[in-house]
Amino acid sequence: MPPLFTSLINPRNTRLFHTTTLKMTYQLIALGNPLLDIQFNVDKAYLDKYDLKENDAILVEEKHMPIFGEGLANPNVKLVAGGAAQNSARGAQYILPPKSVLYFGAVGKDVYADKLTEANNKYGLDTAYQVLDDVPTGKCAALINGNNRSLATDLSACNHFKPAHLQKPENWASIEKASYFYIGGFHLTVSPEAIELLGKHAAKENKTFVVNFSAPFIPEFFKAPLDNTLKYTDIVIANESEAAAYAKSHGLENTTDVVEIAKAIAALPKVNTKKDRTVIFTQGTEETVAVTYVQATKEYKVQKFPVHVLDSKLIEDTNGAGDAFAGGFIAGLVQGKDLAGSIDQGQWLAKLSIQEVGPSFPFPKQTYTN
């Protein structure tokens, strides 16, 4: 039976179709865990009850499972498209011309995946999801507590993503035509092999390979796959707590200066020696630090950029702020902007996103001007 009919007959199947007719020429390829965010406000006592920090991202254990039901029963719950790299991909596509970004990840066949497709369609983001028949789409409880957000994720379908999906002829054709790759470090919990496949390709073809640390638990508990991935990176993006977690797990615990931590990462061995590596650390409202290791001179170039200040009364929530920064930044690279221009665009997009509910961007579309 043709897939169209099976999907209409099976009630679990989706209304929408997750494989878009791909144009095949995308400048930017992103890979991550497509999640639906179940976002609601909580207080400190709620976080304490579930052993959650105010600002963190974790993979759920059994004890956290009631959170999802409690969230869905909350009259003020908001269901918004999430997944860190998917948020960045939507952000980059928000800025770039149509059909610039293609996003890979795994989803189930359910209304959650429909919601993601709906949001992606709104931004014109094309996806090449690996669709699983019998595993639900992943979800993330985004627990908002003032200007903090605590993320508790049940990966479900995301966990089943396979490198073979990237190697399907139509997908690999898109990969071969792209020039930029953006990887959510969160995906190191799923398929380091898929990441390595893209990293090797990017290094061999002298394309730009960007990895975001995503959360402190990645450098802390996924040290080996992260270390293996770093040799392919041209650009590393992380925030201050992820930088500290990296320092702690790499024998740099006495190094509290983010510049020193950035230097250590920037100078790590590199497969593609035609490009220098730059490490970018955001620090909330503090200035963003960028350190490039210049291989030719064996010197470091250290730059600092102030953030775009926003009156805290105007903050809706900070869920997805870092992803928005990364999306705006990488869109800048695709547009041919320099490091300073790309970072500034990232900060602009983060400022827009924190005024929206969840990892979203305003309509009518706003245009970046520096």
- Which one of 83, 136, 199, 225 is in contact with ligand 26A (CB under 6 A)? 83
Buried b (16+ CB within 10 A) or exposed e, 131-157: bbeebbbbbbbbbbbebbbbbbbbbbb
Which single residue brings its beta carbon nearest to ligand 26A? 82
Does 59 help bind ligand 26A (rule: CB under 6 A)?
yes
313-332 positions binding ligand 26A, by CB under 6 A: 319-320, 322-323
Residues 284 and 325: beta-carbon distance below 8 Å:
no
Q: Which amino acid belongs to residue 296?
A: A
The one catalytic residue in 114, 154, 323, 344 is: 323
Strand pairing class (126-127; 277-283): unpaired
Is residue 79 within 8 Å of residue 317, measured between CB atoms?
no
For residue 323, indicate whether it is catalytic. Answer: yes
As measured in angstroms, the least distance from the Cβ of 186 to ligand 26A is 3
Q: What is the rounded CA–CA span in Å between residue 14 and residue 8?
A: 8
What's the closest the beta carbon of residue 1 comes to ligand 26A, in angstroms?
A: 34
Of positions 14, 50, 79, 82, contacts ligand 26A by CB under 6 A: 82
Q: Closest separation between CB of residue 152 and ligand 26A, Å?
A: 8
Pick the stretch among 16-24, 122-130, 183-191, 195-203 that binds ligand 26A (CB under 6 A): 183-191
| Ranges within 8-37 binding ligand 26A (CB under 6 A) | 32-33, 35, 37
For position 272 contacting ligand 26A by CB under 6 A, the verdict is: no
Q: In the set 120, 153, 212, 288, which binds ligand 26A (CB under 6 A)?
A: 153
SS3 string, the chain, reads: CCHHHHHHHCCCCCCCCCECCCCCCCCEEEECCCEEEEEEECCHHHHHHCCCCCCEEEECCHHHCHHHHHHHHCCCCEEEECCHHHHHHHHHHHHCCCCCEEEECEECCCHHHHHHHHHHHHHCCEEECEECCCCCCEEEEEEEECCEEEEEEECHHHHHCCHHHHCCHHHHHHHHHCCEEEEEHHHHHCCHHHHHHHHHHHHHCCCEEEEECCCCHHHHHCHHHHHHHHCCCCEEEEEHHHHHHHHHHCCCCCCCCHHHHHHHHHCCCCCCCCCCEEEEEEECCEEEEEEEEECCCCEEEEEEECCCCCCHHHCCCCCCHHHHHHHHHHHHHHCCCCHHHHHHHHHHHHHHHCCCCCCCCCCCCCCCCC
User: Considering the rule CB under 6 A, would residue 188 count as an interface residue with ligand 26A?
Assistant: no
Single residue of 87, 100, 208, 233 touching ligand 26A by CB under 6 A: 87
Using rule CB under 6 A, residue 353 touches ligand 26A: no
Q: Find the shortest distance in angstroms from Cβ 181 to ligand 26A.
A: 17
Select from 79, 230, 359, 361 the one that contacts ligand 26A (CB under 6 A).
359
* Count of residues in contact with ligand 26A, rule CB under 6 A: 23
- Residue (260 or 356) nearer to ligand 26A, CB: 356
Quick check: 67 binds ligand 26A (CB under 6 A)? no
CB of 12 to ligand 26A, least distance (A): 22
User: Nearer Cβ to ligand 26A, position 181 or 293?
Assistant: 181
* 151 touches ligand 26A (CB under 6 A): yes
The answer to the question of residue 189 lying near ligand 26A (CB under 6 A) is yes
Contact region with ligand 26A (CB under 6 A), list: 10-18, 78-86, 221-229, 237-245: 78-86
Q: How far is the CB of 37 from ligand 26A (least distance, A)?
A: 5
**Interacting residue ranges for ligand 26A, rule: CB under 6 A:** 32-33, 35, 37, 57, 59, 82-84, 87, 140, 142, 151, 153, 155, 184, 186, 189, 319-320, 322-323, 359
Residues with catalytic roles: 323
